[in-house]
Structure 1
Amino acid sequence: MVWEASHIYAPASPAVLEVFCGTPPLASAVHVIDRLDGVLWDASGGQPYPLPETGLLVVREVVSSERRPLRWTGEETVSWQNVRGPDDLSVITVDSLGETTYLSYLYAPPAPFLRFLKATSMRCASVVVFYHHNTFNGLTEEEFAWVFDPAGQDRLYVRTGETLVAVHTGARYEVLSRASVLALVLRDLGVLLEDVAAPPAFPPHRLSFPWSRYRYDCGGAVSATAASVEDNANG
């Protein structure tokens, strides 16, 4: 079985929704998970971890324009191709990793798009995440996440083993020996987990998750533009 997620995650605050709803083509792929009615968080029916107070924004599936629709699964996608942030924002890129960590250019976002996410994080005073995970026959091929925080700091988590995660923060690099990329991302989004070593049961990562229930109507939202994100980040 093949499965893939290429998602933007953020708390669904009014400011964050304004930016993503005003940024084509991302606006067509905005979802807000503000409840999990009838969706079990795990197979045992246990209580869900708390969502961010304003709900969880998910923009899916965000990929290169060369990968539309997604290979194998046929999922419809939106492209990051023309979504750009200010050129003077520094971000961690695939090229900057050197030989310490491997990431495929097929799945990793380009620097202009990462700058947009960083500018959005700074403008909205919000954590913004780009998360990617793909599997084949039930085995993970790649899993990584860029995390941007309101202070303008960014970090990159890359799965390098069953419970090994490489963490890049620009000048620093370390390997966590008992960690999960998804658990670290959820913690950064304010979802409190008792254990970050094991991948949490996360309903949006199930093939059966009812995405249509959570699609957000950007038509009624106040418009914003990517250009205004640049202006605020530069100002």
Structure 2
Amino acid sequence: MLEKLPDVIGHVLHDQRAGLDKLAFNKVGLRSGMAAITVSSLAFQDHAPLPVLYTADGAGTSPSLQWTGLPAQAQSAVLMVEDADAPTPQPLVHAIVVGLPPGDGALREGALDEQEGRGPEWSCGLNSFLQAHWLPPDPPPGHGVHRYAFQLFALSTMPAWSAKPGREEVLEVLQAHALASGCLIGTYERPDGSQKIEQAELSSVTAGPLSA
């Protein structure tokens, strides 16, 4: 959707970013419980680029996730995926999942897509576009690298969530009931026009002349 924006907009907004400090992971004061949960994915490594498949430039499907290390007293878990580098006052929410079971768990690839978005126990809350499913990464061209934080929280209770909870509702519950957290970061950058031209020229040079 944002791939058609002029590159100049991305450059102008380059220094306007929500910031890591505004992520839910950093706003909830867990102290010893912070980073106690290990979050991983078969699709990408921590702080490594997200494959195009999972972005707005590809199929836009949600990546697989796994997590371990929830405390024994946990009663449920919550997943929130936020873009720390969105040019907005607060991080852009790409997914919220509530009602996850309180133990080692996983979400398969595509579980949060529009046609899916619900499991036997869990359900999707609202992303920043007020949709109850995965919002694929879609950074402005030329804005630089965006960091997408896949944040998992263990809760001491099973809250009575609204039908489709949003960020503010989830943050209030986390402040009151979060026991531990974990975070996995994937990156994505949509290059501007000049970068695409350079990449195309490099590819043509690497390929070399066609043989007769």
Question: What's the TM-score once normalised by structure 2's chain length?
Answer: 0.31
Higher Cα Rg, which structure: 2
Question: What's the TM-score once normalised by structure 1's chain length?
Answer: 0.29
